Structure 1
């Protein structure tokens, strides 16, 4: 995971109630950070959609009273977002779901992990300006 901090900590962290009503806050935060990195508007919209789909995958699995944790790693032309929840049951990521297909298509890379009572979706988006040599 690429970060701009020396110790690997996220550049920005956000903790919200694990409730779909707060997904818009996550999408807006993602768009703001991508804009700060000078992502073009099309990439920003793709990121908003991808983060929404990541939330749609993890939220139904959240343990009661869990929080939605979001970690953002920023680098020039690169944004990595990890969305996770605590879980109290076995979770198997649904790689055949519509949400995963959208997420996997829009993000440069996407991974799902389940470990130690956490279910996390991590996605990285590279600015299309990097491909254009700008």
Structure 2
């Protein structure tokens, strides 16, 4: 397992932290991402409920991607922390896969737990899911 961590300061008004993690694209390693997600969300003073929602959302996004991942490749996760928001991008190598179905149960779970969710397929051999969670964001009723 390889872990890369990078922190960059941007602008005078605030700091933008970016943490990147690369690990084998296998479900056995998802606990590493769940732990990292919780730790980083706590750093932004998310509530316990917000942290748990984010952990579950990241886990669900990874599960969706792992079903499409090329065996023996890596899953990469990039966590961007800005003020009161965390953006998480998880990505895997695929073989000609299409974007995740936005009408299945897993996608509904993601959209219920995160404030913004998007699937990105910039190339035919890569798939990513990007989600954002804001501290204190009001949930729809």
TM over 0.5: yes
Match of 2:94 among 73, 76, 87: 87
* Matched length: 127
Deviation at 1:97, TM superposition (A): 1.9
Q: Match of 2:121, SS?
A: strand
Q: What do you get for the CA RMSD once the two structures are aligned?
A: 2.1
Q: Match of 1:61, SS?
A: coil
Contact 1:34 1:79 in 2 (8 A): yes
- Runs of 4+ in structure 1 off by over 3 angstroms are 4-7
Q: Could you say which residue in structure 1 is the equivalent of 2:115?
A: 108
Q: Could you say which residue in structure 2 is the equivalent of 1:51?
A: 58
> For the residues of structure 1 that align with 2:116 and 2:76, how far apart are their CA atoms?
19
Greater percentage in helix: 1
Match of 2:128 among 117, 120, 127: 120
Q: Could you say which residue in structure 2 is the equivalent of 1:6?
A: 10
Unaligned 5+ residue runs, structure 2?
Answer: 1-7
Contact 1:63 1:88 in 2 (8 A): yes
Q: Could you say which residue in structure 1 is the equivalent of 2:4?
A: none
* TM-score, normalised relative to structure 2: 0.83
Deviation at 1:75, TM superposition (A): 1.0
Contact 2:85 2:135 in 1 (8 A): yes
- Greater relative CO (CA pairs within 8 A, separation 6+): 1
Unaligned 5+ residue runs, structure 1?
Answer: none
Contact 2:99 2:127 in 1 (8 A): no
Say yes or no: does 1:15 pair with 2:19.
no
* TM-score, normalised relative to structure 1: 0.87
Contact 1:5 1:11 in 2 (8 A): no
